[in-house]
A = this chain, B = another copy of it.
Amino acid sequence: MMRACLVLFALLLVSATIALGTRDPEVEQCRAKCESERHFDKERRQRCFQRCEEKQSRREGGDEIMEGRESEEEEEEQGHNPYVFEDRHFVTGMRTQHGRLRILQKFTDRSELLRGIENYRVATLEIDPQTFVVPSHWDADSVFFVARGQGTLTSVCKDGRESYNLKQGDIMRIKAGTTSYVINQDNDQRLILVKLIKPVNTPGNFEAFFGAGGENPESFYSAFSNEILEAAFNTKRDRLQRLFGQQKQGGILKASQEQIRAMSHRQEEGRGGESKGTFNIYSQRRTHSNQYGQLYVVDPSRHRQLQDLDIGICLVNITQGAMTAPLYNTKSTTIAVVVEGEGYFEMACPHLSSESQGSRRPAGGPSYQKVSTRLRQGTAVVIPAGHPSVVVASKNQNLQIVGFEINGSNNEKIPLAGLRNVINQLEREAKELAFGVSERQVDEVFRSQEEEFFFKGPRQQHQGRSDE
C-alpha cells in the first residue's frame, strides 16, 4: 500500500514538474518527496533534504560521480540488505570541534523487516581528550559500553550526585530522565561510548533536554515565558537573560586542566558507588575462549541494571585471521557494532531470499540468501533471532565487536559447526532422512572441526562483498 502511494506520488510529480517546465524536475521531485515524509520524523527529512542538495550540486556541476549517495537512495528504496549500517546511515545528534554524538537512523526508516526493533536506537558519543559534555537528560532509557578511552560520568538527582569512573569495557545503564554529564580526563585518547537507547515517549524517537546552557546548547528554560521564569526563580528578567544568553559553544566543550582535575578528583573521592553504577564486561563469565577468540556475555536476568530493559550485552574478540562458528541466537535480535579491527560478516536470510524470487515460496519450505558485508570500526549489523551468521577477522588485526541483545534473558547461542554443534545431536535416522545420505557422510562433515565456537579462519582472506 505504502509503495503504491510512492509510485503514484512519483508519477504525479513527474507530470507536475513537466508542466512547470522551468525548474530541474529531478531536484524538485526530490524535495517534494522529502516534504511528504511524515512531518515529525525530522531525522529522516533532514537526510532526505541533504541528498537533494547533493543531487543539485552534482547536476549544477555536471557531476554525476557521487555514487555513494545515489546508491544509498536506491538501496533504501529497494530495501536490499537492510541489516548493515555504515557511516552514511548515521545522523549527527550533536557536534562541536571537540566531539560528536552520532545517531543511527530509525530501524523502520530502513526496512519494515526491522519493525521488531523499532523502539531501539543506537548512538556513539566520541569526545576529545580534556573535554566536557554539558549536562542533559533524555526521554529514553539507555545502556552504554565504553569502547575506548577513560572518563568520568556524573549523574545528578534532586538529592545529590554520584560520579562513576569509566574505563574500556565498562557497561552502565542510565535511566530515563536522569541528568548526567561526562568528562574525558585523558590527555591523549578519545573517549568513545556506544549506546543503545530505548525511548519512553514515542517509539523510536527521543530528545536530549539541556537545562544548563544558553543559546547553544539551547537551554529549555528559554522556552518559558519571562513572567514564569521570573516567578519560578524569584529573579529579575535581566539577570535571567544574562545567564541563559551566555553559552554559545555547543554541548561538547574544551575544559581547562584545572577543571578536569577538579572534576576527576572529586569523582575519585566520591566513588564507592562504582559497583552500583557500572560493571565491566571483562569481569563477566567468559562463555567461550580458545586461541581463536573469546566471547563474554552479560545475561540481563542476572544484572539488576539491565533486567527491566531485558537487554543483554556480549563482546566478541576474534583473533586475526580467525572466525566464529556459524551460529544463531535462539530469541535475541542482536545489534552489533564493530569496536576495533576489520573483517567480514555473512548471514543466511530467508526474508530477502523470498523477495528476490518474486515471492514465490517453494512448496518444500523457505530458501535462504546470503547477506554479507565488510566490517570496519563503526559498522553496525542487525542479526535477527534464529538467523545463522558468521564473523571473520581480517588477517592483520584482531576484530572486536560489541553486541546489544534485545530480548536477551535466557537467550542461547546455538553453534552450527564445531564441537557441540546441533546437527551432531540428531539421531542416526534423522540425519539420514534429513540429508538423504548415510550417517557416515554426515558425520564426516560435522565432526571434522574439533574446536568450539571460534575457529581458524578461511585460508584465503575474502575481500569485499563479492563471492569467491
How many residues of chain A get a CB closer than 8 Å to chain B's CBs?
Answer: 181
Determine if B429 and A259 form an interchain contact, defined as CB atoms under 8 angstroms apart: yes
Q: Check if A223 is an interface residue, CB within 8 A of chain B.
A: yes
Determine if A200 and B422 form an interchain contact, defined as CB atoms under 8 angstroms apart: no
Q: Report Cα–Cα, A40/B349, bound state, in Å.
A: 12
Q: Can you sample 19 A-B contacts with CB below 8 Å?
A: A1-B36, A3-B38, A3-B39, A39-B355, A46-B361, A92-B363, A134-B434, A176-B386, A177-B329, A214-B435, A216-B362, A218-B365, A224-B390, A227-B468, A228-B462, A232-B416, A239-B444, A251-B365, A262-B429
For A330, list chain B residues within 8 Å (CB): 137, 175-178
- Known contacts: A330-B176, A436-B248, A448-B234. The answer to whether A426 contacts B38 by CB under 8 A is no
For A58, list chain B residues within 8 Å (CB): none
Chain B binder among A17-25, A62-70, A112-120, A121-129 = A112-120
Determine if B243 and A212 form an interchain contact, defined as CB atoms under 8 angstroms apart: no
Determine if B246 and A359 form an interchain contact, defined as CB atoms under 8 angstroms apart: no
For A14, list chain B residues within 8 Å (CB): none
Quote the shortest CB–CB distance from A73 to chain B (angstroms).
15
For A160, list chain B residues within 8 Å (CB): 425
- Which residue from chain B places its CB closest to the CB of A94 in the assembled complex? B365
For A111, list chain B residues within 8 Å (CB): 40
Determine if A346 and B224 form an interchain contact, defined as CB atoms under 8 angstroms apart: yes
Q: Which of B9, B228, B436 is in CB contact (< 8 Å) with A4?
A: B9
- Known contacts: A45-B359, A346-B228. The answer to whether A255 contacts B433 by CB under 8 A is yes
- Which residue from chain B places its CB closest to the CB of A226 in the assembled complex? B468
For A262, list chain B residues within 8 Å (CB): 427-429
For A199, list chain B residues within 8 Å (CB): 116
Q: Check if A225 is an interface residue, CB within 8 A of chain B.
A: yes
Q: Report Cα–Cα, A455/B235, bound state, in Å.
A: 13
Q: Report Cα–Cα, A327/B28, bound state, in Å.
A: 44
Which A101-147 residues have C-beta < 8 A from chain B? 111-116, 132, 134-139, 141
Quote the shortest CB–CB distance from A76 to chain B (angstroms).
12
- Which residue from chain B places its CB closest to the CB of A324 in the assembled complex? B232
Q: Check if A309 is an interface residue, CB within 8 A of chain B.
A: no
Q: Check if A149 is an interface residue, CB within 8 A of chain B.
A: no
Q: Which of B212, B248, B430 is in CB contact (< 8 Å) with A423?
A: B212
Determine if B456 and A207 form an interchain contact, defined as CB atoms under 8 angstroms apart: no
Q: Check if A378 is an interface residue, CB within 8 A of chain B.
A: no
Q: Which of B138, B250, B372, B441 is in CB contact (< 8 Å) with A386?
A: B138
Q: Report Cα–Cα, A176/B36, bound state, in Å.
A: 39
Determine if B323 and A139 form an interchain contact, defined as CB atoms under 8 angstroms apart: no
Q: Check if A90 is an interface residue, CB within 8 A of chain B.
A: no
Q: Report Cα–Cα, A448/B422, bound state, in Å.
A: 62
Which A192-224 residues have C-beta < 8 A from chain B? 199-203, 205, 207-214, 216-218, 220-224
